[in-house]
Amino acid sequence: MSILSRFKEIIASNLNSMLDKAEDPQKMIEQYLKELTGDLAEVKRETASVMADEAKAKRNLVANQEEVVKYTQLARKALEAGDEANAKVFIKKKQSLEEVGETLQQVYDVAASNSQKMRQMHDKLVNDLNELHTRKAAIEAKIKIAEAQKKVNEVAGASAANKAEASLNAFARMEEKVDHMLDEANAMAELSMERTDDAIAAEAKYYEAISNSKVDAELEAMKAELGLLEGK
């Protein structure tokens, strides 16, 4: 496809609109960069060729116009000199040049139009490329920030969750250990307590009564020996 045939397509393209609608702007930017870079290289070559054609057409047109002016002046000088025959010759030559000039003007107009189109395409492509590079850099920066944020979130989330889980597990282990220590203490206290035997308790009671009787008997015996017994 000739680059000129793509003129309307390129000029009418709305780069920002296409990028905003793209599902993957970065991928589309890379694709457009590749295409537009190729188009720009071709446009530069075509523009140089078209501008050369325009310059040549312009030179031919100017040269023709100068010839028309020259033969017009010659015709006037011939008439001023009373040389009507040569005046007619010069006028005929001027008219012939004017006919050629009409064709040359058409050629120049087409060449100038093509040159203008090529410059418009060139400027559009350059602007689009600059825009793409800017958008590409911005998108890549956003992607890097997003990826970094994602990693931070993953690390922070994992650390917080792991820390919380570790704290809960440690607390549970500590609580279990304390409960075990308390159970051991209670068991030791229970083992250290002397159980009360009912028989032993009763034995002590009566043992005390027997002991008191022996004391009383010996006391009476001493009183008797000492003659302290009343009424005896």
Does CATH number 1.10.287 belong to domain 4-158?
yes
Q: Domain locations in the chain?
A: 4-158, 199-232
Residue 178's pLDDT is what? 66
Residue 10's pLDDT is what? 59
Measured CA distances, 208 to 74, 220, 229 (Å): 174, 19, 25
For residues 101 and 95, what is the distance between their CA atoms, to the nearest angstrom? Answer: 9
Q: What is the pLDDT along the chain (232 residues), one digit of tens a residue?
A: 466 566 556 555 666 666 666 667 677 777 777 877 877 888 888 888 888 999 999 999 999 999 999 999 999 999 999 999 999 999 999 999 999 999 999 999 999 998 888 888 888 888 888 887 887 777 777 777 877 777 777 766 555 556 667 767 776 777 777 677 777 767 666 665 555 556 666 666 666 667 677 767 777 777 677 777 765 5
pTM of whole model > 0.75? no
Do 113 and 7 touch, CB atoms closer than 8 A?
A: no
